[in-house]
Amino acid sequence: MTPSANSRTAGTGTAAGTAPGTAPGTAADATADPAAPRGPLTGGVVPPLVTPLTEDRALDVPSFERLIGRLLEAGVDGLFVLGSTGEAAFCTDELRAQVISEAVRVTAGRVPVLAGVIDTQTGRVLRQLEAARQAGAEGVVATAPFYAATHAPQVRRHFEILGERADVPVYAYDIPACVHTKLDPDMLVELGLSGAIAGVKDSSGDDVAFRRLALRNRDEGGPLTLFTGHEAVVDGAYLAGADGVVPGLANVDPDGYVRMHAAFRRGDWTAVRGEQDRLAALMEITRVATSVTGWGAGVGAFKTALMLQGVIAHNQLPQPFEAFGGDDAEAVRAVLGTAGLLPPSPAPLRPPLP
């Protein structure tokens, strides 16, 4: 790890832990030389991209280009590929490398590209980390180890090893529903103080633990950038001390999350709540499917919405899941229509961003 790779002082903007309405700056002010190394993100909107697939389940590069172009046009602060929404658990190593390299190519330095390096144990994560770095990722996102039972001392050492070996910022991904380990707030702040990690993406659903993390982070001077992954309660996370959001729903409505973050930065809490209420209603697309539940219902809804909006060509899912069709697709269409997010029918495919 380079000395400043995971240090908050290396990034743009100010440290985490600022009071609501005085949020830190973000890395989306892309007036700097794209070739110059950037420090860690210090907040903002960082959508976790879906991975568009062709009907035969290869990466749909033109659709990926259109998706990235749309997000950049909306003014997001970074992109996160190969998270839960991005199908990391389903991708071969070859597909992972292709997803990262294509995202880096299309983004062309305009915002940082973070890559999930999610794998079962430390050695495998290190291999994913090296592949992500070679593909051009400017930061990596890692969960606790999983499958083999792993306890607190080993979880701490896992992140210390990643920090020692990485020459890009490391972000801890707290998602106990998938890895069956809840990351301890005190441990996370201590890892931030040591420089092992630069931030946390919290998808734990544990509001009390997140508040504890935010308070400890603030008390220690803000060594960590804190992102919430819960797109329906971002307003509450901002009030608690979040610096930014990683919302899967931003694939479908990036402008809403960008507007909400801008309102947060200027302290307009009425606007923050108004955007959040609208986005929470839109999040119902993840609950309307009757043929599938869980992960497939959520990502299947995002992909179906993007297809209906003319952003991606297919709503294919990885095996063993199948694309939404029939009543499920029509239910997604109805929610989009109520939200005013359907283009004139039939939706033309958007051209890629130059």
User: Among the options 173, 238, 257, 303, which is catalytic?
Assistant: 173
171 in catalytic set = no
**Of 275, 261, 249, 259, the residue nearest 335 (C-alpha):** 249
Distance CA 65, CA 107 (A): 9
Looking at 147, 171, 182, 201, which residue is catalytic? 201
C-alpha distances out from residue 62 to 70, 187, 249, 293, 319, Å: 12, 42, 21, 29, 21
For residue 328, give every residue at least 6 positions away whose Cβ sits within 8 Å of its Cβ, in sequence order, or none.
288, 289, 290, 291, 292, 300, 304
Q: Is 173 a catalytic residue?
A: yes
16/221 Cα distance (integer angstroms): 8
Q: Tell me how crowded residue 107 is: count the other CB atoms within 10 A of its CB.
A: 23
Instruction: Kindly give the residue spans of alpha helices, DSSP state H, lying in 8-151.
Output: 61-74, 93-107, 122-135
What amino acid positions are annotated as catalytic residues?
173, 201
